[in-house]
A and B are shown apart, each in its own frame.
Chain A
Amino acid sequence: MMGNLLEHMGVDRDRIHFSWISSAEATKFVDVVKEISEKVRALGPNKKFVKDYNK
């Protein structure tokens, strides 16, 4: 529901990831991080929900 609300507010779904990884699942952790990195890299820099401290 949190992801849905963020998406409803205009945040790309591919920037929001949920995963359940046990401390024993090192390879799963690596796989998930790789996948997230690829998806986020494809989207480019995020412009939403970023605080500009110079404003």
Chain B
Amino acid sequence: MDTCIEKIRAIGADLLAKGTVEKVIGFADGSIPMATRPMALTSDKDVDKLVFNSVCGLNLANYVSKNSLSNKEGKIAVVAKGCDARNLVTHIVENQISREQIYIIGVPCTGMVDKRKIAALFDDEITGFEEHGDTLTITSASKTETVKKADVLRHNCRVCTHRNPPVYDVMAGDPVEEQTLDHPYEDVDQIAAMDLDARWAYFENLTKNCIRCYACRNACPLCYCPTCFVDESSPQWVGKGQNEIDVTTFHFLRAFHCAGRCTDCGACVEACPMGINVRDFTRKLNKDALELFGWEAGLVLDKRPPLDAYSPNDPNDFIK
């Protein structure tokens, strides 16, 4: 695809040169192939460091929140894929930032690749990654593999129906076609089809390798509490060790804190060093938010999320 990078750089340089924004937050190359890192630029001379490709799997909305944005700072521009922009909208709706503080450089996105899927093609370390249109060329010391991007997309990108930012100040490219899916929540339905004990076993097995590093939480733009419940010690809400019930409790609560807020950006899974698909928890909540409240997070600025507003029409058959 046209990665829009030239346009992103031009917009970024213009914004910084004119002083419209104080900072531009975007992606830069990481220290290893097939990795990018978030970067905050303050000078228009640095815009060549910005990149945008199929390995920009983190969510840049995470780097803009009340915690990172002091009142002294000026306007900040953020390079935003569809999901990043939806999380910026969520920040605004949740009063973490004001719309005026943020300048959204919208990027139409055709999805990010699953790095684990690519790494699985190799026995040795990947030393090179190149992207031309829809074709990816990955090299290691022993071989070179060419794959179609569509074959190695992350699951959340395969089921994404908001590739274009719903809210933006400027777009760095023409909007891409949105996907329409026959079974958007097939993964959730597959788990739901199991019986109770099998589901419990499924989730225990899913999280059995969790090392409680909290990378999923740290990568998530929704998790901006100054002190997370897992770090509290008085009271201590959940045990801090590897006990499987503590691990399950952490994952259950982490997910539930995202109820009606998650944009399924996949940053949690991207950040997990153990390859745990923690989206299995949040996907169920997203499905319920859609089915019970007709809600998808981060699409509009003028509606309250379903779990922070009461309506007499709210589903209430669960309560006695």
- Where the two chains meet, the residues of A that have a C-beta atom closer than 8 Å to any C-beta of B are 1-12, 17-20, 32, 35, 48-52, 55
Once bound together, how far apart are the Cα atoms of A19 and B320, in whole Å?
A: 5
Once bound together, how far apart are the Cα atoms of A2 and B184, in whole Å?
A: 21
Mind listing 29 A-B residue pairs with CB under 8 Å? Answer: A1-B256, A1-B259, A2-B256, A3-B318, A4-B284, A4-B288, A5-B252, A5-B256, A5-B259, A5-B281, A5-B285, A5-B288, A6-B252, A8-B284, A9-B200, A9-B281, A10-B198, A10-B199, A11-B196, A11-B200, A17-B320, A20-B320, A48-B200, A49-B248, A51-B239, A51-B245, A51-B246, A52-B243, A52-B245
B92 at the A interface (CB under 8 A): no
B83–chain A nearest beta-carbon distance, Å: 21
User: B residues within 8 A CB of A8?
Assistant: 188, 191-192, 199, 284
A7–chain B nearest beta-carbon distance, Å: 8
Instruction: Apart from A9-B252, A10-B196, A18-B319, list 6 A-B contacts with CB within 8 A.
Output: A5-B259, A9-B199, A11-B200, A18-B320, A49-B249, A50-B245
B281–chain A nearest beta-carbon distance, Å: 7
| Residue among A7, A11, A48, A55 with the highest chain B CB neighbour number at 10 A | A48
A27–chain B nearest beta-carbon distance, Å: 13
The answer on a CB contact under 8 Å between A55 and B243 is yes
Once bound together, how far apart are the Cα atoms of A21 and B197, in whole Å?
A: 32
Once bound together, how far apart are the Cα atoms of A8 and B291, in whole Å?
A: 15
Majority secondary structure of chain A interface residues (helix, strand, loop or mixed): loop
Majority secondary structure of chain B interface residues (helix, strand, loop or mixed): helix
Count residues on chain B whose CB falls below 8 Å from chain A CBs: 32
The answer on a CB contact under 8 Å between B319 and A19 is yes
User: A residues within 8 A CB of B252?
Assistant: 5-6, 9
B202 at the A interface (CB under 8 A): yes
A13–chain B nearest beta-carbon distance, Å: 9
For B260, give its contact among A1, A11, A32 (CB under 8 Å). Answer: A1
For A10, give its contact among B203, B243, B246 (CB under 8 Å). Answer: B203
Once bound together, how far apart are the Cα atoms of A17 and B201, in whole Å?
A: 23
B147 at the A interface (CB under 8 A): no
B307 at the A interface (CB under 8 A): yes
User: A residues within 8 A CB of B197?
Assistant: 10
- What 7 A-B pairs are tightest by C-beta distance, nearest first? A10-B200, A10-B199, A51-B245, A19-B320, A18-B319, A8-B284, A1-B288
B289 at the A interface (CB under 8 A): yes
- Where the two chains meet, the residues of B that have a C-beta atom closer than 8 Å to any C-beta of A are 188, 191-192, 196-203, 239, 243, 245-246, 248-249, 252, 255-256, 259-260, 281, 284-285, 288-289, 292, 307, 318-320
The answer on a CB contact under 8 Å between A51 and B243 is yes
> Which residue of chain B is the closest to A16 with respect to CB atoms?
B318
The answer on a CB contact under 8 Å between B201 and A10 is yes
> Which residue of chain A is the closest to B238 with respect to CB atoms?
A51
> Which residue of chain A is the closest to B282 with respect to CB atoms?
A5
User: A residues within 8 A CB of B191?
Assistant: 8
The answer on a CB contact under 8 Å between B318 and A10 is no
Once bound together, how far apart are the Cα atoms of A35 and B2, in whole Å?
A: 61
- Known contacts A5-B281, A48-B200; is-contact A32 B320 (Cβ 8 Å): yes
User: A residues within 8 A CB of B192?
Assistant: 8
| Residue among A9, A49, A52 with the highest chain B CB neighbour number at 10 A | A9
Once bound together, how far apart are the Cα atoms of A52 and B320, in whole Å?
A: 32
